[in-house]
Amino acid sequence: MTEAAREWAKRLGTVGVWTFEAERMPAAAEREYARALESLGFKTLWIPESLGSKEAFAHASLLLAATKTLVVATGIANIWARDAVAMANGARALVDAYPDRFLLGLGVSHAPTVKTRGQSYARPLEYMRRYLDAMDAAPYTGPKVEAPRVLAALGPQMLRLSAERALGAHPYFVPVEHTSIARKELGGSAPCGRTGRRGQR
């Protein structure tokens, strides 16, 4: 495990919140909700991005601006929703504005969702590799910052890719038993999150 991965594991804490609830709220109520979570001692709020969701970076910015210490993590920003340059630079802008408080979780989504967006869900692992290459090469005129990321990963190949190209994996909606499988594929080189069925990480 790299030093950066260790630091992020501490920053995220052992228990966080992953929920669709916040995106259903008006902005003012959502700000209060985020501040309440922070006051209760939760370190991280994971926000989803699905069809009909608030846009991930605008949503994260709203939550970060409303809080002082809460980490906001996308769980999960859809790589089909924006090109790699927009993904990389959206993350960079938030990292610059809120150092150590934004974590980009990104993933390949699911075939029905991608089809609804009018795109073809073909070779998702290969697509993710190319997407990460394009993110890493994305030009940016703002301050040079590193945007930390994790990959949504369930299967062995995507888990291994998350160990190679990110801080770790964000397996979600899986039974507890999956964590040991994920850790084995990660090779112990990166932290591994788990989102249980009740929405807590």
171 is written with which tokens? 């397996």
Report field, pTM of the whole predicted structure over 0.85: yes
CA 88 to chain centre: 12
The CA distance from 67 to 138, in Å, is 29
Instruction: For residue 121, name the pLDDT band (cuts at 50, 70, 90).
Output: confident
What is the per-residue pLDDT across 128-173, written as a single tens digit (0 to 9) for each? 999 999 999 999 999 999 999 999 998 889 999 999 999 988 877 6
Q: With beta carbons less than 8 A apart as the criterion, state whether 107 and 169 touch.
A: no
What is the per-residue pLDDT across 50-76, written as a single tens digit (0 to 9) for each? 888 999 999 999 999 999 999 999 999
Q: With beta carbons less than 8 A apart as the criterion, state whether 68 and 39 touch.
A: no
